[in-house]
């Protein structure tokens, strides 16, 4: 019936001229969007080629596998961070949660694999949930809430390890240790788990309704609320997700190292944020994608690997390079964004 009534309305044609001017604008817009989406990938390819040509030791199976496994943990943290940043937020607690997750998993592994996995997920997920509640319901600034959580989680970590003096070990013969140490088709289990999580994450972000809400909240929170998107629930979910990812990454890392090392994870929040932003996700929210974060993590790890290969350079250069890189990417994003706004 709708159709018949509708056909009564006169055909209303939109004028052609504005469309023409928009087409011109959208061409340069597409170029900047392409730069945003694939800049990191191009840089990664160039970096890999340059590294292979410069160091014989770079393109060896051992080195690659090593890089892949060590990337895996950061990648899982960055996965959760991607969701948070697309909503326009930030999560500075992930480094502490990563360390806490590792310690809890190592401690829990004596009671079996289920405890070793579920305990860190429960605790870190709960802290993420509290972050989310404070940010979404009490409307506190994300950076300060998660900064406090970073401190609080570090405090919990210290109190369960006798002020950091106790290191729990994982029995190498357990299934839990296999999650970190095992290999499938010559590639470490953490790499497979990470890839699976990224595929799941990408599907959720691109193809689920929740994913649409994540973009909407980051793109224009007020509009999202008026359009009926559950803004608070979406925010709470992404911070919980981020906590879960950090806890899981910590647990996998503990399985890989077969111990819960207490000093890990400091500075990891910065690496994860860098990776996400380098991967093309806008820090202002509303735009970004999962695969980019993976590329960002790999790029950081390749740079780190190259710095290690040079040997004479201290690992501190890694931080200088990541910091500079982060600054460059953010400058580029701001400029690209500004040009688009003018259009």
Partner 1 sequence: MTDVLSVTQLSKTFPGVRALDGVDFTARAGEVHALIGENGAGKSTLIKVLTGVYAPDAGELTYKNEKVSFATPLDAQHAGISTIYQEVNLVPLMSVARNLFLGREPRGRLGLIDFRRMHREADEALRRLGVRVDVRRPLRELGVGAQQMVALARAVSVDAQVVIMDEPTSSLEPREVQTLFGVIRMLRDRGIAVIYVSHRLEELYEVCDAVTVLRDGKLVHTGPIAELDRLRLVSLMLGREIGEVREEGVTKFSGEHAPGTQPVLRARDLTMRHALHGVSVDIRPGEVVGLGGLLGSGRSETAKAIAGALPTDAGSVLIAGTPVRSGSPPAAIRAGISLLPEDRKAEGIVPGLSVRENIALAALPGLSRFGLVDESAIDKIVDTFMKRLRIKASGPHQKVGELSGGNQQKVLLARWLAMNPKVLLLDEPTRGIDIGAKAEVQKLIDELAGDGLAVLLISSDMEELIEGSDRVVVLKDGTVIEELTGSKVTEDALMRAIATTGGSHD
Partner 2 sequence: MTDLALGGKAPADRDRILRYLQDYGVYLGVAVLLILNIFLTPHFLSAENFRTQAVQVAPVLIVALGMALAIGSEGVDLSVGSVMALSTSLLSLYLGYGTWIALIVALIGGAAIGVANGSLIAFIGVQPIVATLALMVAGRGLALVLLPQLKDVRDPTMASLGSGDVLGIPYLVLIAAALALVVAFVVRRTTFGRQLLAIGDSRPAARLAGLPVRRVLILVYVCSGVLAAVAGVLATARLTASDPTSLGNLMELSAITAVVVGGTPLSGGRIRIGGTVAGAVLIQLLTATLIKHDLPPSWTQIAQAVVIILAVYAARERGKR
For residue 179, the Cα-to-chain-centroid distance in whole angstroms is 21
R_g over Cα of the chain? 22
The item of partner 2, partner 1, none sharing an interface with residue 20, based on CB under 5 to 8 Å by kind, is none
Tokens, residue 112 = 């079996």
Indicate whether 310 belongs to the interface with partner 2 (CB under 8 A). Answer: no
* Residues 136 to 165 in contact with partner 2, rule: CB under 8 A: 138-141, 143-145, 147-152, 154-159, 163
DSSP 137: T
Among 57, 60, 208, 284, binds partner 2 (CB under 8 A): 284
Distance between CA atoms of 249 and 257, rounded to whole angstroms? 12
Distance between CA atoms of 209 and 206, rounded to whole angstroms? 8
Q: What number of helices (H) and strands (E) belong to the chain? A: 14, 4
Name which of 108 and 288 has its Cβ closer to partner 1. 288
* Residues 5 to 64 in contact with partner 2, rule: CB under 8 A: none
Shortest distance in whole angstroms from residue 148 CB to partner 2: 4
The item of partner 2, partner 1, none sharing an interface with residue 155, based on CB under 5 to 8 Å by kind, is partner 2
H-assigned helices in 141-230: 142-160, 175-181, 189-207, 209-219, 221-226
Indicate whether 283 belongs to the interface with partner 2 (CB under 8 A). Answer: yes
* Residues 117 to 136 in contact with partner 2, rule: CB under 8 A: 134
Among 42, 324, 339, 343, binds partner 2 (CB under 8 A): 324
Name which of 60 and 334 has its Cβ closer to partner 2. 334
The item of partner 1, partner 2, none sharing an interface with residue 152, based on CB under 5 to 8 Å by kind, is partner 2
Tokens, residue 316 = 């501190």
Name which of 63 and 220 has its Cβ closer to partner 1. 220
Tokens, residue 128 = 């993420």
Burial class (CB in 10 A: 0-12, 13-18, 19+), 330: middle
For residue 160, the Cα-to-chain-centroid distance in whole angstroms is 27
Residue pair 94/269 in contact (Cβ under 8 Å)? The answer is: yes
Instruction: Note the residues at the interface with partner 1 (CB under 8 A).
Output: 2, 5-6, 8-15, 17-19, 22, 25-26, 29, 203, 207-209, 212-213, 215-216, 219-220, 222-230, 286-287, 340, 342
Task: Give the binding site for partner 2 (CB under 8 A).
Answer: 90, 134, 138-141, 143-145, 147-152, 154-159, 163, 266-267, 270, 273-274, 277, 283-284, 314, 316-324, 326-327, 330-331, 334-335, 338
């Amino acid at each position: 019936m709708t159709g018949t009534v509708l056909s009564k309305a006169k055909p209303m044609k939109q004028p052609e001229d504005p469309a023409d001017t928009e087409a011109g604008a959208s061409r340069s817009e597409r170029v900047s969007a392409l730069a945003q989406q694939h800049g990191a990938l191009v840089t990664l390819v160039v970096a890999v080629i340059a590294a292979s040509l410069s160091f014989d030791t770079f393109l060896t199976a051992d080195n690659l596998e090593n890089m892949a496994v060590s990337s895996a943990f950061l990648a899982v943290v960055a996965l959760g961070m991607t969701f948070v940043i697309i909503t326009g937020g930030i999560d500075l607690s992930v480094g502490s949660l990563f360390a806490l997750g590792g310690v809890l998993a190592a401690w829990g592994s004596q009671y079996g694999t289920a405890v070793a996995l579920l305990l860190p997920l429960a605790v870190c997920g709960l802290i993420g949930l509290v972050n989310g509640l404070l940010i979404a319901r009490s409307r506190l600034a994300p950076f300060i809430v998660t900064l406090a959580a970073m401190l609080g989680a570090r405090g919990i970590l210290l109190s369960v390890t006798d002020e950091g003096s106790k290191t729990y070990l994982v029995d190498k013969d357990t299934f839990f240790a296999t999650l970190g140490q095992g290999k499938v088709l010559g590639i470490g289990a953490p790499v497979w788990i990470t890839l699976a999580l990224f595929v799941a994450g990408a599907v959720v972000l691109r193809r689920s309704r929740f994913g649409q809400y994540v973009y909407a909240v980051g793109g224009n929170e007020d509009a999202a609320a008026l359009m009926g998107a559950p803004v608070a629930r979406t925010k709470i979910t992404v911070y919980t997700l981020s906590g879960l990812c950090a806890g899981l990454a910590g647990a996998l890392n503990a399985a890989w190292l077969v111990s819960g090392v207490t000093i890990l994870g400091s500075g990891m929040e910065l690496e994860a944020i860098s990776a996400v932003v380098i991967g093309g996700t806008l820090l202002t929210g509303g735009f970004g994608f999962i695969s980019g974060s993976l590329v960002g993590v790999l790029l950081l790890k390749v740079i780190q690997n190259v710095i290690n290969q040079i040997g004479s350079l201290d690992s501190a250069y890694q931080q200088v390079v990541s910091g500079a890189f982060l600054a460059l990417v953010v400058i580029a994003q701001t400029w690209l964004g500004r040009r688009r706004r003018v259009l």
